[in-house]
A and B are shown apart, each in its own frame.
Chain A
Amino acid sequence: MHRYILRRLFLLIPVMFGVSLVVFTIMFFTPGDPAKLMLGERAPEAEVAALRAQMGLDDPFPVQFGRFIYNAVRGDLGRSLVTRRPVFQELYARFPATLQLAAAGVLVAVVMGIPIGILSATRQYSAFDAASMGIALVGVSMPNFWQGMMMILLFSVTLGVFPSSGYGTIRHLVMPALTIGTSTAAIITRMTRSSMLEVVRQDYIRTARAKGLSESVVINRHALKNALIPIVTVIGLQFGYLLGGAVLTESIFSWPGVGRLMVDAIRQKDYPVVQGGVLLLALTFSVVNLGVDILYAYIDPRIKAQYK
Chain B
Amino acid sequence: MAKGRITVLVLVAVLVAAALIGCGTQTTDVTQKAENKDVLVIGMPGEARALDPQATNDQPSARIMKQIYETLMYQSPALEISEGLVSEYRVVDDVTYEFSLPQGIRFHNGDELTSRDVQFTFERMRQVNAPGAFLVAALDRVEIIDDYTFRMILQFPFGPFITHLAHPATAIINERAVGELGDDFARNPVGTGPFKFIEWRSGDSIKLERFADYHGQQAASREVLFRFITEDGSRTVAIETAEADIIYDVGPQDFNSLANVEGVNSISSTGLTTFYMGFNVQKQPFDDVRVRQAINLALNVPQATNVAFRGHATPARGPLAPTVQFANQDIPGYDFDPDRARQLLAEAGYANGFRTSIWTNDNPIRIQYAEIFQEQLSQVGIDAAIEILEWAPYLDRTARGEHDMFMLGWVAVTGDADYGMYSLFHSTQFGDAGNRTFWANDEVDRLLDLGRRSPDPDERAQAYQRAQEIVFEEAPWVFLAFRNELNAHRAYVEGFTPHTAGHHILHQVRNR
Q: Given A100-B18, A251-B231 in contact, is the A166-B49 Cβ separation under 8 Å?
A: no
0/1 per residue, A31-47, Cβ < 8 Å to B? Answer: 11100010111110101
Q: Is the pair B237, A166 in contact by a Cβ cutoff of 8 Å?
A: no
Determine which of B49, B131, B204, B233 lies in contact with A83 in the assembled complex, contact meaning CB atoms within 8 Å: B49
B31 at the interface (CB under 8 A from A): yes
Q: Is the pair B243, A165 in contact by a Cβ cutoff of 8 Å?
A: yes
Task: Give residues 38-82 of B contacting A (CB, 8 Å).
Answer: 47, 49-50, 55, 57
State in angstroms the CA–CA spacing of A82 and B390 once bound together. Answer: 19
Q: Is the pair B396, A83 in contact by a Cβ cutoff of 8 Å?
A: no
- Residues of chain A within 8 A of B29, CB atoms compared: 168-169, 171
Q: Given A84-B55, A260-B203 in contact, is the A107-B16 Cβ separation under 8 Å?
A: yes
Q: Is the pair A299, B231 in contact by a Cβ cutoff of 8 Å?
A: no
Nearest B residue to A83 via CB reads B49
Q: How far apart are B196's CB and chain A's nearest CB, in angstroms?
A: 21
- Residues of chain A within 8 A of B55, CB atoms compared: 84
0/1 per residue, B394-410, Cβ < 8 Å to A? Answer: 01100000000000000
0/1 per residue, B440-458, Cβ < 8 Å to A? Answer: 0000000000000000000
Q: Is the pair A256, B392 in contact by a Cβ cutoff of 8 Å?
A: no
Chain A residues within 8 Å of chain B by Cβ, number: 61
State in angstroms the CA–CA spacing of A252 and B234 once bound together. Answer: 6
0/1 per residue, B233-244, Cβ < 8 Å to A? Answer: 110011011010
Q: Is the pair A163, B23 in contact by a Cβ cutoff of 8 Å?
A: no
A83, A85, A256 — most chain B CB neighbours (10 Å): A83
- Residues of chain A within 8 A of B231, CB atoms compared: 251-252, 254
Nearest A residue to B230 via CB reads A251
Q: Given A83-B49, A254-B227 in contact, is the A163-B19 Cβ separation under 8 Å?
A: no
User: Which of B1-9, B380-388, B491-499 sits within the interface?
Assistant: B1-9
A104 at the interface (CB under 8 A from B): yes
Nearest B residue to A104 via CB reads B19
Q: How far apart are B160's CB and chain A's nearest CB, in angstroms?
A: 16
A213 at the interface (CB under 8 A from B): no
Determine which of B1, B12, B22 lies in contact with A168 in the assembled complex, contact meaning CB atoms within 8 Å: B22
Q: Is the pair A163, B30 in contact by a Cβ cutoff of 8 Å?
A: yes
A93 at the interface (CB under 8 A from B): yes
Nearest B residue to A82 via CB reads B49
- Residues of chain B within 8 A of A67, CB atoms compared: none
Nearest A residue to B57 via CB reads A40
Q: Is the pair B234, A31 in contact by a Cβ cutoff of 8 Å?
A: no
Q: Is the pair A269, B392 in contact by a Cβ cutoff of 8 Å?
A: yes
Nearest A residue to B29 via CB reads A169
Determine which of A33, A110, A298 lies in contact with B4 in the assembled complex, contact meaning CB atoms within 8 Å: A298
On A, residues with C-beta under 8 Å from B are: 31-33, 37, 39-43, 45, 47, 82-85, 90, 93-94, 96-97, 99-104, 106-107, 110, 149, 152, 156-157, 160, 162-171, 173, 177, 221, 225, 251-254, 256-257, 260-261, 264, 269, 295, 298-299
> Can you show 11 pairs from A to B with CB atoms below 8 A apart?
A31-B390, A31-B396, A42-B423, A43-B129, A83-B50, A103-B19, A107-B16, A149-B233, A167-B203, A168-B201, A170-B24
On B, residues with C-beta under 8 Å from A are: 1, 3-4, 7, 11-12, 14-26, 29-31, 47, 49-50, 55, 57, 129, 131, 134, 183, 186-187, 201-205, 227-231, 233-234, 237-238, 240-241, 243, 390-393, 395-396, 423, 432-434
Q: Given A103-B14, A166-B205, A256-B203, 17 more contacts at CB 8 Å?
A: A94-B203, A100-B20, A101-B19, A103-B19, A104-B15, A104-B18, A157-B237, A157-B240, A162-B31, A163-B30, A164-B238, A164-B243, A166-B204, A166-B243, A168-B22, A169-B24, A298-B3
